[in-house]
Chain A
Amino acid sequence: MYGVLLLVIYAILALMSFYGIRRFLKKESYTDYKVIVGSELAPGISVIAPAFNEGLTIISNVRSLLTFDYPKYEVIIINDGSTDDTLEKVIKEFSLVKVDFAYNIKIASKPIRGIYKSTDDAYAKLVIVDKENGKSKADATNAGINISSFPYFLCTDVDCILHEQTLQKLIRPIMEEENSRVIATGATLRMANSCEIDKGVIIKIKAPRPILARFQEMEYIRSFVLGKMGWSQVNCVPNVSGGLGMFDKEIAVKAGGYDPTSFGEDMELLMRMSRYVHDNKIKSAVRYIPVTLCWTEGPTSLKVFMRQRTRWGRGLVQLMVTHRKMFFNPKYGRIGMIVFPYNFFFELIAPLVEILGIIYYIIQAYLGLVNWPYAIILLIFIYTFAVMISTIAVLWDQLTTQYYKSWTDVARIALMAFIEMIIYHPLIVVFALRGYFFHLAGKKHTWGNMQRRGFKSSTANPTTAAT
């Protein structure tokens, strides 16, 4: 019954997402984004990207972030106490000098050691913040928010490769909402693994060759294009990814900024912002657009992947515990009545239900109480339905934009749907449970070193990624 309900929810999301994608594509067909590029009415946006020991790739990463096609923005890179040569490299490359920079500490973060600006006018938009290591991306981003000058900020990872139109596309839902204040917008993320990249710019999009990254690409497509896009239609977006999200600074600051102690700081911030607007009776919305604007390195080793998913698992438990008062609380509207219960029943306890179900089945089988033909029919039902949902997600993605130029790339991704349940899904369940266990056991977790091989020459082939 539980599984059926989950699959029915996915089917409804697929329909809502289809409606949203069609509407989005219709609008895109006549939108001229050049209008905002040359406009003095465009709102300013601060791009905030924390960096920790990114010496290998920092120069191309910063250059990539300086290529946005938008009239009014600044790029704030926060060197979060790197122990490598990250800071020295950017100082040299971008002709930086330390400046007397006054800022207001609206959100707590570790002390800032210095702020640098370029003497070269070509890099006038760049601000480098050198701060003590806060052991979390949240702490570094909070420092960036304090420094930022504009009413909106885009939060990303320094190693993410963003599309040059990212700012125009993400600000649009904010500027065209009629009756609500849009507090956050997000778009689809994809894997940069195997894409052809030159000087921090995507040249050719390819489906990842490493199997783990390919599974994640499939998962991201389903989660963003089908899931979040569907939720966006009913203003119930549960999360705006830490890799790419635009936020209303005033609300984010009033909500207290990112929580440095959280393992799922992106989801936690959105939950707190939603809580704040409901508490203060501000009519708000969170919007998603179905285009890919961000490419990130996906973990290709099982060890790194396990750490990532364990952390996400811990983040989810933390979130549920911290904001438990919102659970089925009508005061928080759809967030309290739909998003929170959905996260609880179908994200948090799903791995538990699955593992308990398997144990129950094993016991039943041992006792000879299983009706095998029926059991197999039910398994086939779950399997075929999961394949259907993933295939529909790929179709919706193809309807939006045909990112992959070759048929084989589409086939590579689409075929993941058939083996995902057997290989990838069990890993996610186990790692999530590991995260829950760590949370209950109070195990310490440190913000890992984001080791990367970097995007050498024109093809990305990272071995390790964000933890």
Chain B
Amino acid sequence: MWKDLIDLLFQAYEQFSLLPLFIEIALAFIFIAILSTLVAYSAILYKRYRAYIYDKRMAYISPKIEDMITDQVLLNPNLGMDIPLENIEFDEQTLSDKMYRKPFVRQMLIDTLISYRKNFRGEVGDLLRKLYIDMGLEKDSFGKMKTLRWERKIKAVVELTQMDISISDVTILPLTNSSNPALRAAARNAYIQLSKNEPFKFFDIATEPLLPWDQLEMFKIITTTKDIAIPNFSRWVSYSTNKSIVSFCLKLIAHYDQQSAIPAVMDLLANKDHYFRADAINCLGKLSAEVAEDKLVKIYNNQPLNCQIEILQALGRIASGKHLEFLKSEFLYSSNFDIRMNAARSIIKHNTQNSRLMVEELMEVTDDENQLIIKHCLNPLIKY
């Protein structure tokens, strides 16, 4: 039988080789296309089957894990008894259940513990962490750190951070400057959360940019993590050569109202990059830096539009009243719509007797379009 089959294939090949080249290519492509289509269908079926099995397993295992955590942690009789955490023991038999040796279950367990820990702090949070360590899940996370796959490394970094397990500087610091943006961001976030002494040390060595998306998460971590030592961010504003770090520090300076940073921020007004200058002006406005007002007005005429608008907004935030006449003249005489709009907003933002009188006066002397701008800015229904 095998011989017949081989003969048949041989004959087919002989006939195939007699065909013109373009037909040979077409036949080869037909074979590839049919095969690929079949593989694609099989993959669709397999993928859906796997998802189905995963859902089933989840439905079976998830309640068991939750029950175990409830029994061992949430309803632990030693909780609230002033017993030191290291003396609280879990039920050995439960923890050594065969089910918890399977990698799939262990990963689910880690994910569930992390989700619980987000909701529980204090003693319960610490006990969840102890359970994570006692079950050896910490080793699983460190194991992932050693892989070459960046997404696995990120998962490990996130797990260890959420569980407040310290990672040595030697391991984490190089990752904060990784060329992979995602890994870099995760490592930086972890470093801030885990480093007890100098959480912002990586700002000194960061050469890779801190992307706007990463700034969102880092900003949240910095502003919501308890017991984090907040430094004076003007240090990096003055010395960092990494523009994104400086830009981020300006946002933090404004958020923490670091008045001592004002001189360093004012130095940036001489920077060549106008986007940078705009960030600095914005920061000064948010700091209500009255000392910067005169300088802002002085440099105003030499600035591009984005910086001019930031200066007008800053004057509105500072609202000292010293430069109301300047705002008035910009409103009346500028040909640029955005300038007039922002000047009007800033005058109104002063909300003083003088500014209110000025608005009334402007309504009388100015043209229809400018009157419309004032009405727009005064209308509480218009937010932006």
Contact = CB atoms under 8 A, between A and B. Distances in A.
Contacts of A26: 150-151, 182
B26 A99 contact: no
A147 B186 CA distance: 38
Contact of B214 (A29, A176, A414): A176
A380 B30 contact: yes
A42 B212 CA distance: 9
Nearest to B186: A30
A377 B375 contact: no
B213 A172 contact: yes
Contacts of B337: 102, 104
A392 interface: yes
A117 B29 CA distance: 61
Contacts of B47: 395, 398-399, 402
B40 A391 contact: yes
A104 B336 CA distance: 9
B372 interface: yes
Given A402-B48, A410-B48, A100 B375 contact: yes
Given A30-B151, A176-B213, A391 B37 contact: yes
A100 B372 CA distance: 6
Nearest to A43: B212
Interface string A181-195: 000000000000000
A384 B382 CA distance: 58
B369 interface: yes
Contact of B44 (A38, A384, A394): A394
A8 to B, nearest CB: 10
A35 B217 contact: yes
B178 to A, nearest CB: 13
B106 interface: no
B384 A74 contact: yes
Nearest to B155: A30
A47 to B, nearest CB: 13
A414 B38 CA distance: 12
Interface in B166-197: 181-182, 186
Contact of B33 (A36, A97, A384): A384
Contacts, number: 138
Nearest to B338: A104
B41 interface: yes
A192 B369 CA distance: 44
B154 interface: yes
A279 interface: no
Interface in A170-214: 172, 175-178
B182 A381 contact: no
A127 B30 CA distance: 56
A119 interface: yes
B40 A395 contact: yes
A178 B212 CA distance: 9
B381 interface: yes
Contact of B27 (A172, A377, A398): A377
Contact of B181 (A74, A101, A178): A178
Nearest to B35: A388
Interface string A146-165: 00011000000000000000
B205 interface: no
A96 B20 CA distance: 74
Given A30-B151, A30-B186, A388-B33, A149 B48 contact: no
Interface size class of B (residues with CB under 8 A): 35 or more
A414 B154 CA distance: 35
A176 B211 contact: yes
A30 B158 contact: yes
Contacts of A172: 213
Contacts of A378: 23, 26
Contact of A41 (B43, B215, B379, B382): B215
Interface in A44-90: 44, 74
A102 B341 contact: yes
Interface string B19-32: 01001011101101
Interface in A360-419: 374, 377-378, 380-381, 384-385, 387-388, 391-392, 394-395, 398-399, 402, 407, 410, 414
Nearest to A30: B154
A381 B25 CA distance: 9
A27 interface: yes
Interface in B80-138: none
A74 B383 CA distance: 10
A26 B251 CA distance: 30
A32 interface: yes
Nearest to A7: B29
A101 B219 contact: no
B216 A39 contact: yes
Most buried by B among A97, A104, A119, A149: A104
A343 B23 CA distance: 29
Contacts of A97: 381
16 contacts: A30-B154, A40-B219, A42-B216, A100-B375, A102-B375, A117-B379, A117-B382, A150-B384, A176-B214, A374-B20, A377-B27, A385-B29, A392-B36, A395-B40, A395-B47, A398-B47
Interface of B: 20, 23, 25-27, 29-30, 32-34, 36-37, 40-41, 43-44, 47-48, 51, 150-151, 154-155, 158, 181-182, 186, 209, 211-217, 219-220, 251, 255, 337-338, 341, 369, 372-373, 375-377, 379, 381-384
Interface of A: 4, 7, 26-27, 29-30, 32, 35-36, 38-44, 74, 97, 99-102, 104, 117-119, 124, 149-150, 172, 175-178, 374, 377-378, 380-381, 384-385, 387-388, 391-392, 394-395, 398-399, 402, 407, 410, 414
Top-5 shortest CB links A-B = A149-B384, A100-B375, A104-B337, A384-B33, A175-B213
